[in-house]
A = this chain, B = another copy of it.
Amino acid sequence: MTTPPPPPTKIGAILFPGFQLLDLCGPLDVLNILSGQRPLSLSLLAATLDPVSTQHHLHDAQGSRFSERLVPTHTFAEPPSDLEVLLIPGGTGARKEENIDDVVRFLRGYYPKLRYCLTVCTGSAILAKSGVLDGRRATSNKKAFSWVSINLICLFVLLFLPSSMIGMFD
């Protein structure tokens, strides 16, 4: 019998303007608790080191000033070299190309190094845009399924699953 590899310890997560707060903070809260019991590291990646806001065009249209800003630790240009897991949140902001262009380019280059790439909700659309899902089975949030499947250029096969959170494993 071969010994299974140790569980991953080097976690990354993606920030982009208009990301969905809970998509990111739900999974990270679980890992926050685990990291009080065993050594883990977290890197938060964004286009620049400026704080990234959840504000998006629907808030703007309402005149709402209701957003939270999270501080990145790394840029896409200078990421840690040894991330094992990457989490990609969804969010209304993902519906504007300019918010996720940098993310898509980063994923295209970094994806092959990862052990696991996890997406939440429309985060699957961002990953799909990078092309790494081409020819693979994947899914997304049922409520956003039409947008995800119609708007993607890549040719992956979308299947319904009951949960809006999916993991895609190499």
Contact = CB atoms under 8 A, between A and B. Distances in A.
A31 B68 contact: no
A27 to B, nearest CB: 10
A42 B63 contact: no
Interface stretch (A54-62, A101-109, A146-154): A54-62
Given A11-B66, A68-B70, A29 B40 contact: no
Contact of A29 (B20, B32, B41, B61): B20
A89 B95 CA distance: 31
A38 B22 contact: no
Contacts of A31: 66
- Size range of the interface on A? 35 or more
Q: Kindly name the residue among A25, A41, A66 whose own CB sees the greatest number of chain B CB atoms within 10 A.
A: A66
User: Oligomeric state, in number of copies?
Assistant: 2
A69 B71 contact: yes
Nearest to A56: B36
Contacts of A35: 59, 62, 64, 66
The 7 A-B residue pairs with the shortest CB-CB distance, nearest first, are A36-B58, A35-B66, A25-B25, A22-B29, A35-B64, A69-B71, A42-B66
18 contacts: A25-B26, A32-B54, A32-B68, A35-B59, A35-B62, A35-B64, A36-B92, A37-B62, A38-B62, A39-B63, A39-B64, A40-B62, A41-B64, A41-B66, A51-B51, A69-B71, A70-B70, A70-B71
